[in-house]
Chains A and B, each alone.
Chain A
Amino acid sequence: MPVDFLLRVSLAAVGVALIAGPLGSFVLWRRMVYFGDTISHASLLGVALALALNLPVMLGVLLVAFAVAAVIVTASGRFYHVDTLLGVAAHSALALGLVAVSFLDGVKVDLLSYLIGDILAVTWRDVALIGSGVVLSLGLVIWRWRALLISSLDRDMALAHGENPAREGLLFTLALAVLVAVAIKVVGALLITALLIIPAAAARLWADTPERMATLAALIGVVAALSGLAGSFRFDSPTGPSIVVAALVCLLLAGAARMVGGWRG
């Protein structure tokens, strides 16, 4: 395999994994798993709109993911529990996306590549976009780290400290939307949540502070991304799902090691 190609796909996978670890930790702490699922499903609608309007796919996904997230955040709690809104949004956005894609004539859209990713088609331009996503998304989380942490811990305590939990929540949502946009080509709309949650869940078993959990989750994500890639070349399996399977293996190993080592805190 050409080195150029290997470097390209590896960088793309590592970039996405680097963001997914820390953001995924916050997703676990803030109990937003279903939320992550919803905005990644909604990204398919972004793909359809981008193709119809001739915009870059990542931009379409970013805008739709953030718009759906913002609507859910502002509308929840009035008439429905946030759970209901998420259920409605996740599946109707997915359905709308699928219907919208079918109306697109002239372009032959390979749907499966957006649902489970198509990292092998990643270009250097995509790698550059993923790189800027890493800088933007990780930068946002590192910049707001303390405020985000304390807002995730207890809303009232954050307010008493003079923080603004609503604003921090919105910024976090923005970081998530960026991740979804850069990850859709790598693991696909259906599996983005897996990449968020599984490395963070594995890291939880071996971390005693939030910082260690976020760092460890990023490292585990990178290991899963690279071994998933290698596995998919070796066994000719689809790449996105292979990365997720590798992440699951990491989680199981972390759990087994933890059980052997005895449970602490």
Chain B
Amino acid sequence: MKSPLIETVDLGLEFHGHRVLHDVDFAIYPGEIVTIVGPNGSGKSSFLKCLIGAERPSQGDIRRAEGLTIGYVPQKLHLDAAFPMTVARFLRLASYKTSASDIAQAVGMTAISGVLDSQMSTLSGGQLQRVLLAHALIGAPDLLILDEAAQGLDQPAVAGFYHLIEDVRKQMGCAVLMVSHDLHVVMSASDRVICLNAHICCQGTPTIVSNAPEYRQLFGAGTEGTLALYRHEHDHRHDPDHAGESHAG
């Protein structure tokens, strides 16, 4: 098997004596799509922060493949109104050695050529999401990390965005790690789904049910099979002392 792009061993994180993460053993391999689901406050954003180096784990190890490049799509961009920034300028900020063709490729793939001259602060939620994705794709990263990228989008928009991510993986061959607070509906192209709630509760593959009538009922026909269900199968029980960790799903 290929060696992982990034791997955590026995990872733990504490904030002011509160255990946010513990015993997380995780690895993602080249070209894989992994979705991490978990309820709010389950530590999934903190886990991503550890991976990109924004948070230093209090325990365990993070191993990165040599020369690993990460494209990061934040949940939101808190751009102050005093910050003038066109989309084109924002994209050029992605790297010191950004070439025009790198940018053109990312712009083409995310279909944002119409907003290049717009100010970042005037974009709609869906447009901003695509621009952030384009920014992350410049320089062809080995691993694309998306933090709740689909939050705030309606279901057809989510389906469209997932479709785009699938395309990106197909064309650029990067691994994709995405985090979602939706416990049951995940991107159907996910190779693996990991349920995180301070530790890894369970993991598995999404159930592809796009042909079942129930699926049509749930998602309609407009999602083109990009959404799938994830069935949580826990192999352990939480004792009452850890009620806070009990599974919300």
Contacts and interface: CB of A to CB of B under 8 A. Distances in A.
Interface stretch (A80-88, A96-104, A201-209, A254-262): A201-209
Given A146-B96, A153-B77, A160-B145, A29 B82 contact: yes
Interface residues of B, number: 27
A114 B95 CA distance: 44
B15 to A, nearest CB: 12
B117 to A, nearest CB: 8
A210 interface: yes
A249 interface: no
A91 interface: no
Interface in B29-82: 49, 52-54, 70-72, 74, 77-80, 82
A150 interface: yes
A210 B70 CA distance: 25
Q: Taking chain A's interface residues, is the majority helix, strand, or loop, or is none over half, making it mixed?
A: helix
B240 interface: no
Interface string A184-221: 00000000000000001100100111111100000000
Contact of B85 (A155, A160, A209): A209
Contacts of B119: 208, 265
Contacts of A210: 83-85, 89
Contact of B74 (A31, A149, A157, A212): A157
B83 A154 contact: no
13 contacts: A28-B82, A29-B80, A149-B93, A153-B79, A157-B74, A161-B95, A201-B82, A207-B84, A208-B86, A209-B85, A209-B86, A210-B84, A265-B84
Given A31-B80, A153-B83, A160-B145, A265 B89 contact: no
Contacts of A112: none
Contact of A209 (B49, B74, B89, B96): B89
B246 interface: no
Interface string A20-45: 00000000110100000000000000
Given A146-B93, A210-B89, A265-B118, A160 B82 contact: no
A154 B77 CA distance: 7
A159 interface: yes
Contacts of B78: 154
B155 interface: no
Contact of A160 (B72, B77, B83, B96): B72
B122 interface: yes
Nearest to A158: B54
Contacts of A155: 54
A169 to B, nearest CB: 14
Contacts of B93: 146, 149-150, 153
A209 B95 CA distance: 17
Nearest to B45: A156
A210 to B, nearest CB: 6
Contacts of A150: 93
Contacts of B121: 265
A201 B94 CA distance: 26
Contacts of B118: 265
Interface string A139-150: 000000010011
A70 B5 CA distance: 37
Contacts of A28: 80, 82-83
Contact of B84 (A152, A157, A209): A209
Contact of A159 (B52, B79, B86, B95): B52
B175 to A, nearest CB: 15
Contacts of A154: 74, 77-78
Nearest to B72: A160
B173 to A, nearest CB: 19
Contacts of B145: 160
A156 B54 contact: yes
The 9 closest A-B pairs by CB, nearest first: A160-B72, A265-B119, A28-B82, A160-B52, A159-B54, A209-B89, A207-B84, A29-B83, A156-B54
Nearest to A212: B84
Nearest to A264: B119
Nearest to B145: A160
A171 B82 CA distance: 21
Nearest to A165: B54
Nearest to A30: B80
Contacts of A161: 72, 94-95
A168 B148 CA distance: 28
Contacts of A156: 49, 52, 54, 72, 74
